Chains A and B, each alone.
Chain A
């Protein structure tokens, strides 16, 4: 199941086990196959890559402009490396889609969005137990947060500042 902030979404990407991507319009390849897949790319074709949470940013940085999607693998919900890797990818200027791929839980949805992910790809085993409306409801439990720089607007420190400025002005 694929989810984005608006609910269930359809996955238009085609997984490929290796670099043989033919002319699939949106081809998602494993990290190991990326250099070859990029070399095989045909005009108009978009490439996405699946990377592990342990990937060092330096290894992928130069390739970011070539990529339309990066799917970061979460081997388990408890392995939070993907959140930090997502932050580093955004900081390095990646503007394509960021996907969290793995058995995340509903309660991590908001965190993932704040860290720069656009969507979550869940394996069937977790999707079966955690229907889409639970994911939406979980988002509604997470309002403003204390950290600055995570997600758009909505952080408490900036809201306090805005209130201070408004009071000073009025």
Chain B
């Protein structure tokens, strides 16, 4: 994992002092609330329905045991003993007090963490594949790139007052687990077909919100050394030309759309051509300095298979099922990555109590080189676990209610905070997720249905990624009543797609039945081995729509 050097340390301490000063200036009236707002947002402080909310950056979703313990402590001391992991791999506390925030920032700085740019019209926390450095389909580890971007984008003198927020994601694998196509900039590390050098494919203009769009490629093969200069070119074009007249049209996706991909690309390339790369880019020694922190840990040489594991699996069907669903093959023989589900049936997706955080921190320390990852699907990962340790870990997770075997299945639902916490919400999302999870709780049923992503947002802002859910649920408000729109066919991977509307407006109680209906069509019509999303792609919406029409006629 990356560790701060003296410069990073000083930089973060300065931010704490700076924010304390900003809070003081707001309290004495030097700053108006309007002027203070972007400053508190850039430090992760939102004003919400019940209280202030604090969003803590977990850059590219990587945490150490020490950091997770500190988050547990903050949750206990300044909040109500739990935190909420978000789709941008951040952690949110829902109940801190404004006057406590500088102190919390100090505690975070003690463990090399911060809230910088988790909100506001700036470059946000950078995200990456949660299986970085582990996945067998990886071409190159995306974390050094993400860390370089984290540093470069922090307090950028030129790009801190953009037209709108700006999100960057990086992947280095064949399969996209970082939803890069739904980001303002998505970077994919790939090999150049002729030179075999690793390069970046650069996509711009993805984004969800009220006008969902899939990112478009502006550069097929960007030499890695040119990264920062190329980012500077994109950002400058956007900062100067992005719309500022309407906040709903201010994201870069709208600029790309209105300018046209070809013309937008031309402007970026023209700007890039003017730049003096060597004076902007990080020198190779700096790039290697960062990369060295992400060198693989010292694994033991182990056989590919573990007989201890196989015996335990044979003797315990629940454990067997959990291993099948929640573990991922590791580059290193004899190891696996575990995904810990934060979606136990009936709980709020992505919530973890301070005790649970401590347990995960302990397990990571004992079994996974003190490393934890946060996924955009709001789960946690222990990245490097010996196969022979899986059984012991599963038992301990079970005692804390963390052994749900549902990763990627119908109850592994992404949901935003919705009307329970969010000031912008038009409907509840957590209770909808809970109701669906309860309906499909039974293991055999989940297994039969297989991979199916449900994603729920409590308003058009789409924090719950509903547009790219296989089944997306959007909570709206119609004449004072919550009303849920269902979309079908969204996809968050390398085959990114925006879902299409299946049903426009359902009452909250009707949602679980509607999901049943959709699932029934799939189970009836699927071909051997066909997953839900493949089935929807093959059949289109028609048979699913028909099922709803029958329902109406029957009623």
Contacts and interface: CB of A to CB of B under 8 A. Distances in A.
Interface string B146-187: 000001101111111110000000000000000000000000
B469 interface: no
A39 to B, nearest CB: 29
A91 B136 CA distance: 45
Contact of B7 (A88, A131, A160): A160
A146 B286 CA distance: 12
Given A84-B236, A106-B25, A141-B18, A78 B7 contact: no
A134 B157 contact: no
Interface string A80-108: 11011101100100000000000001111
A88 B29 CA distance: 35
Chain B interface size, under 10 / 10 to 19 / 20 to 34 / 35 or more: 35 or more
Contacts of B283: 157, 161
B244 A84 contact: no
A71 interface: no
B157 A79 contact: no
Contacts, number: 117
A160 B286 contact: yes
B30 A134 contact: yes
Contacts of B10: 143-144
Contacts of A106: 25, 30
Interface string B237-249: 0011000100000
B530 interface: no
Interface string A126-137: 000111001001
B161 A77 contact: yes
Contacts of A105: 31, 35, 39
Contact of A142 (B5, B18, B159): B18
Nearest to A168: B285
A5 B155 CA distance: 19
Contact of A81 (B18, B32, B121, B239): B239
Interface stretch (A18-26, A41-49, A62-70, A147-155): A147-155
Interface in A109-144: 110-112, 114-115, 129-131, 134, 137-138, 141-144
Contacts of A129: 29-32
A159 interface: yes
Contacts of B38: 77-78
Contacts of B154: 146
28 contacts: A53-B240, A77-B38, A78-B38, A78-B121, A79-B244, A80-B158, A80-B159, A81-B239, A83-B157, A83-B158, A84-B236, A84-B240, A88-B236, A105-B35, A111-B157, A129-B30, A129-B32, A130-B31, A138-B18, A138-B21, A142-B18, A145-B11, A147-B152, A149-B280, A156-B8, A156-B151, A157-B286, A160-B289
Given A131-B30, A156-B151, 19 more contacts: A77-B35, A77-B161, A81-B240, A81-B244, A83-B239, A84-B240, A87-B158, A111-B157, A114-B158, A115-B157, A134-B25, A146-B11, A147-B152, A148-B279, A149-B280, A150-B157, A150-B158, A157-B282, A160-B7
